[in-house]
Amino acid sequence: MPKRQLPRFELPGPAGFLATGSAGALLVILVCLFAPVSVQIAAVGLLVVLVLSLTVARGPQPSLPQDVDLFSAPLTLARDKGVFEAYQAITRALEGISADKDPIYRELALERANHFAKELQDVAEGRIIFTGTETWRMAYGRLLRSPGLYLYRSVAYAKTSTYWQDEPGRQSMQVNFEMVDGGTLNIERIVILPDHLWPAGDRLPLEPLQQWIDQQYNHGIWIRLVRQSTIASESDLLVDLGIYGSRAVGYQELDEHGRTVRFMLSFDFAETLAAEQRWERLSVYSTSYQKILDQSARPG
């Protein structure tokens, strides 16, 4: 006679495990509502034993989808007071969006929320972007004054003769002078000049740029100059950036009038290292302002 096969018992998968737990929880609720206290205690104990038994029997399981981790986010973020307060504010705002059922409002609100989520993802990756505003200069000043920063390197792509000479620019330059004069920060700056602002036959740039450069030099800022045509074959060097030690790098984009269109501040070390490498390449093409002044002082 063929050997009789015993029925196989298969442990439930994640969905079955959840269903079993839910059914047990429902049973306990019903018992708590209608049964005596002694029965309630026994039911709870039985449920605990059942859940533990299934957990041990199933052994290590593949991790749940990443989105499930969002359920633990409040507990994780609660350890960081500042971040948790922001999390609460964002959550309340999303609850407010969800409560309004107007379809047009929801469409517009979700578009804005998704845009905000993208910006927040950039921040999480170490990049803070300022668009169409000069408020980035506050972050600029805070970084220059931050403890532990001893070297600031910048590339100034002076597309206009009034580059950094409006009121916000003058205030930022005052921060430069304050730090250098106080001996707390070394500043090195390479200025890229279009040929029409530093003609090939002229020893010095045209005013008012020459005065702007000279003022920095007199405060002890290390200055080098390079004509735009000199680096025409390496267009990736035509940038406006600042390197805050090994901590961060900032990129500035200007319009044709010299106004800031976009400023991106990155705390990613790889991006900071890439900026340093770009600086070193640019240094090869540039000339010390001291050397230019010495040549200008020679007769003939």
In a domain, 102, yes or no: yes
- Please give the pLDDT value at position 79: 86
Each residue of 183-197: pLDDT tens digit?
A: 999 999 999 999 999
Nearest to 150 by CA among 182, 128, 127, 173: 182
Each residue of 243-261: pLDDT tens digit?
A: 999 999 999 998 887 788 8
Categorize the per-residue pLDDT at 74 as very low, low, confident or very high, splitting at 50, 70 and 90: confident
183 conformational bin, left if phi > 0, alpha if psi -120 to 50, beta if neither: left
Same domain? 118 vs 143:
no
In a domain, 64, yes or no: no
Same domain? 135 vs 120:
no
Pick from 69-78, 80-89, 164-173: least confident:
69-78
In a domain, 67, yes or no: no
Q: Which of 11-15, 23-27, 41-45, 278-282 has the highest mean pLDDT?
A: 278-282
Residue 25 lies in domain: 14-57
Cα end-to-end span (Å), the chain: 119
- Please give the pLDDT value at position 4: 47
Each residue of 143-201: pLDDT tens digit?
A: 999 999 999 999 999 999 999 999 999 999 999 999 999 999 999 999 999 999 999 98
Same domain? 52 vs 153:
no
Does the pLDDT at position 37 exceed 80? Answer: no
Last residue of a domain, one of 124, 139, 163: 124
CATH code, domain with 149: 3.30.870.10
**Whether the Cβ atoms of residue 216 and residue 176 lie closer than 8 Å to each other:** yes
Structurally, the chain folds into a number of domains equal to 3
Same domain? 19 vs 161:
no
Beta bridge partners of 154: 189, 242
**Whether the Cβ atoms of residue 262 and residue 223 lie closer than 8 Å to each other:** no
- Please give the pLDDT value at position 133: 80
Nearest to 90 by CA among 124, 45, 120: 120
Same domain? 113 vs 37:
no
Radius of gyration of the chain (CA): 32
Same domain? 21 vs 107:
no
